Amino acid sequence: MSARPTADPTAAADRVGRSERRKDAGEKIRGRAQFAGDINLPRMLHGKVLRAELPHARIVSIDTSAAEAMPGVVCVLLGSELEHFDPYWGHAIKDRQILAVDRVRFAGEPVAAVAAEDEATAEAAVRSIVVDYEELPVAGTIAEAIADDAPPIHEGALRPGLFHGLGELAEREGNVCYRYRLDAGSVELAEAEAEAELTVEGEYEFPAVYQYAMETHTVVAEFGDGEITLWASCQHPFLVRAEIADLFNLPIGRVRVIVPYLGGGFGSKSYTKMEPITAALAWKAGRPVRIANRVDESMVTTRRHGMRCRMTTTASRDGKLRSRSVRLWLDTGAYADNGPRVCATAGDAAPGPYAWDAVHVDASCVYSNTAPAGSYRAFGAVHMQWIGESQIDELARRAGIDPLEIRRRNLLRPGQPVRPDGTGKPLDADLVGDVEKAAAAVGWDEPKGEWTGRGVSVGLLAAGAHPVSRANVRMEADGTVEVNVGTTEMGQGARTVMAQIAAQELAIDTDRVTVQGADTRFTPYDRSTGASRSTTLAGLAVQRAGADLRERLLKTAAGAWGVERAGLEVAEGVVRGAGREAAYPELIAERFGFVGGEVVGEGEVRPEQGSGSYAEGPVFWEICIAAAEVGVDPETGRVEVTRTATIADVGKAINPLLVERQDEGAVLQGVGNALFEEMVYADGVLTNDNLLDYRVPRIEDMPAQMTGIIVENADGPGPYGAKGCGEGAQAATPAAIATALADAGVPMNELPLTPERVWRRIQELQEAKSR
Amino acid sequence: MRIGINGTRRELTVPARELLLDTLRDRLGLTGAKRSCDVQVCGTCTVLVDGEPVSSCTYLTCDADGREVLTIEGFARSDEFAQFERAFVDRAALQCGFCTPGFMLTLKALRDAGELRDRDDVIAGLDGNVCRCTGYKSIVEAAEALAGEPAPAAAEARAGGAAASGSRDAA
């Protein structure tokens, strides 16, 4: 018998709730962690894509003869060669082809692809292809796309994709591909607005921005005998697998997606991106192919939706909120990608976390001749929160109430319905308590100088996506454990958190647990890595799998010892009870009568009621709360964020340090979105498609004080009461910066808050004052 | 050309226009340096050439002729690396890890040059490295820890009363 256990499974022995070291740190700091671009298969070719230079044009002819004649070129692929596949894809709406056949709808749209022995040859070959275009009228902005005489970007009925997930597809209206409407309340909106004592209304612009995961979209594809294998930088391997199988008419099991480490995701690698082209090129070449985008290519592969919005919010003189009406248009670019869901989520977030007498939301997802927009951290919520919260602050100013006080009076309380029509989950968090903590952390009541402001923002984000996750936990004969779970490690620390959960359930050290990336051939199904869902849903599947494995070990011991299972328990790597104990390897040897075998536990999460659809959900409401302090230089218009505080209302922090670290990253992305990030288009063509002209936050942009506050009320649906995090801080930060800047005297209705825009606004306000 | 790669002399024949990043990744299989922005902004391709950080995505391999290149794979084998490991791992100063080798090598060069003394040095010195995941706070904390710690070689040299010597001091 092995050494006696030294500890009981008490709090001190808990593996969850502890800031354990990242499981992936050793490989990553040594440069050994493998990313898709580091994979080199024997006979692998390099692919490059010819992308349209025009935003909207008919393809008259394509001449590939020079490319095909080039030494080192193995093949050139055109869309016309793929028509026998029904080459339309798109998880929400099947609206795009693998390669454009007769028409391009955005500058950057793939038109042809080349596979060559090396990347430079592929690139030269791509440049030698001559395409003759006939230009078509361009709708490069939301205004142009919704105008009465707008050029139609798509014709015919909309075809739903495999994962549309938002109910029936309505008839397409012009360039609008999806519409979300909400009308609710105890009184009519018109009545509420007519009777309002205080009214704030405005028009707002939110810029398209780029996720900039530092690793660009990268895929290696091998097209074998009726089988495709992909090594892909993708967040949702199982959805990619299904879309690729559908596209190439293969059984799902004949498509294998293997996910190495991701060099950041933030939504940019959600759903399917470069996988169809790479697979098609490998099919034609008959050899493995790698396509690694350059940054300018990834910037036309996906981005965050730009938005125009009109909002009106009313209140009574004492600051009681009455009504809100919202009309918004999201620019989803030439293909829908995740636009419909972004639109529904923005519509969901538009009312904000308040109770209204009347609320009306009308949100349109609009096609335009720009590159497709999809998911980016906190989509929908980040779009709406700065607008809604700016209006709440303006009402507070007019009512003569402190911005914190107007929120205390009006915020939803736990148990109240979040959706104004009463559907979905009620609120499961203490918003007032949370926002007070955030405000205190930026010195809310401290005196402040001229041109300094402080702001708070509160919002809710429908999180979790569809609640389907499976996992298994396997114990080898030596007692080491492997967790098989489909969550993609993209920096958030999933492999560490999953290991901690399994270790907790089995009462072993986290060091004994290994977690690999997904290989869809072996890894149990998981819907996706996004929507802050992994710890909550995949984590719950791992917890259940761990518990199932534990139960099998207990039953093995009971059988071997001839005792009742009920009196046995696990502790520190042993089963004990009935006056006996045995380490796990001994039990496995006992079970198989041999030094070998394994014990596997299974865990599954699926909708516990109804279909788990978006309308019935969400899985949980992610809390989006931040406070900020800014200083603005009236001479230059430069805004400096001096203090931020964010709330991670996570129910239970499995690894508190990783929660804090993820939110710090969200704050800086929020600073970028608020202060300087913006994709600039001229007639639909992106003009700042590089990191020199598109500025992401650098180390000097870090606020001097960043406070991350973890709130643990064990009120989440995940393991140990956990719920997800990492997006709320991103939605809340731009809003807190905008409200802080308004508090400093400069209310703005357009992001980013560039020095020029802020300076012009200051001039406007001063002129208005002197008049 | 002859080039020192992580302490080993290599004889290489490369096209005149080949970039050091491609030589390292494709020819030598050293994939710790990553490609991202291609325009010397992000720093994820950082390696040290004769102790100086360079963006290998815009550095011609032939310009490294006769010089010594240190990549993360080489640095990770040094005694000094243990300090970097503690500084970064204890603080979870990495997430996706794509940029991490570049940050570490830049910090090593700064410290070797005596330009890693305090927070201001950290902010100024890491201006050429972008991290999209961490929000920088944890990296600043890791760098401040390194700033307060002498490199093992320097500590030995001081203990022995000998003048420190090395390419950085000569430059």
- Taking chain A (771 residues) in consecutive chunks of 10 residues, what is each chunk's mean pLDDT? 39 84 98 98 98 98 98 98 92 97 97 97 98 98 97 93 81 90 93 96 98 98 95 98 97 98 98 98 98 98 98 97 98 97 96 97 98 98 98 98 98 94 90 98 97 98 94 98 98 98 98 97 97 96 98 97 96 96 97 95 91 80 97 98 97 98 98 98 97 97 98 94 96 98 98 98 95 83
Q: Which chain B residues have a beta carbon less than 8 Å from that of A35?
A: 31, 34, 98
pLDDT of residue A3: 38
Residue (of A424, A507, A526, A545) closest to A467 by Cα position: A526
Residue keyed to tokens 């050494």: A3
- Which residues of A are catalytic, by number? 727
**B166 pLDDT higher than 90:** no
Dist CA A715 CA A718 (whole Å): 9
Q: How far is CA A309 from CA A328, B37, B149, in A?
A: 4, 33, 53
Dist CA A41 CA A115 (whole Å): 14
ipTM for this prediction: 0.96
pLDDT of residue B155: 56
Long-range contacts of B22-30 (CB under 8 A, 24+ apart): B22/B61, B23/B61, B24/B56, B24/B69, B24/B71, B25/A38, B29/A40, B30/A31, B30/B5, B30/B6, B30/B71, B30/B73
Q: Which amino acid is at B148?
A: G
Taking each helix axis as running N to C, give the angle between helix A656-675 and helix A381-399, from 0 to 180 degrees, rounded to the nearest 10: 70
CA B66 to chain centre: 19
Q: Domain B2-75: which CATH class?
A: alpha beta
Q: Report the CATH number of the B81-157 domain.
A: 1.10.150.120
Q: Are A423 and A615 in contact (CB under 8 A)?
A: yes
Categorize the per-residue pLDDT at B154 as very low, low, confident or very high, splitting at 50, 70 and 90: low
pLDDT of residue A6: 39
Domain residue extents for chain B? 2-75, 81-157
pLDDT of residue A610: 77
Q: Which chain A residues have a beta carbon less than 8 Å from that of B70?
A: none
**B157 pLDDT higher than 80:** no
- Helix residue ranges, H only, A142-188: 142-146
Beta-carbon separation of B39 and A692 below 8 A: yes
Length of chain A, in residues = 771
Domains by residue range for chain A, with CATH? 11-33+468-605 (3.30.365.10), 395-464+619-770 (3.30.365.10)
The DSSP letter of residue A380 is: T
- Helix residue ranges, H only, A259-380: 275-285, 295-299, 339-349
* A400 CB neighbour count, 10 Å cutoff: 9
Q: Which chain B residues have a beta carbon less than 8 Å from that of A37?
A: 31, 34-35
A710 membership: H or E segment, kind and range: strand A705-711
Mean pLDDT confidence for B143-170: 62
Q: Answer whether B35 touches A (CB < 8 Å).
A: yes
pLDDT of residue B42: 98
Mean pLDDT confidence for B95-118: 98
**B85 pLDDT higher than 90:** yes
pLDDT of residue A172: 75
Mean pLDDT confidence for B127-142: 98
| Residues of chain B numbered 141-170 and touching chain A (CB < 8 Å) | none
Residue (of A542, A569, A459) closest to A722 by Cα position: A542
Residue keyed to tokens 């004949």: A254
Q: Answer whether B105 touches A (CB < 8 Å).
A: no
Beta-carbon separation of B90 and A706 below 8 A: no
| Residues of chain B numbered 40-69 and touching chain A (CB < 8 Å) | 41-42, 44
Q: Which chain A residues have a beta carbon less than 8 Å from that of B98?
A: 35, 214-215, 263-264
The DSSP letter of residue A217 is: P
pLDDT tens-place string over residues B30-78: 999 999 999 999 999 999 999 999 999 999 999 999 999 999 999 999 9
Residue B11: strand pairing partners: B2
Residue of B nearest to A703 (CA): B137
pLDDT of residue A164: 82
pLDDT of residue B102: 98
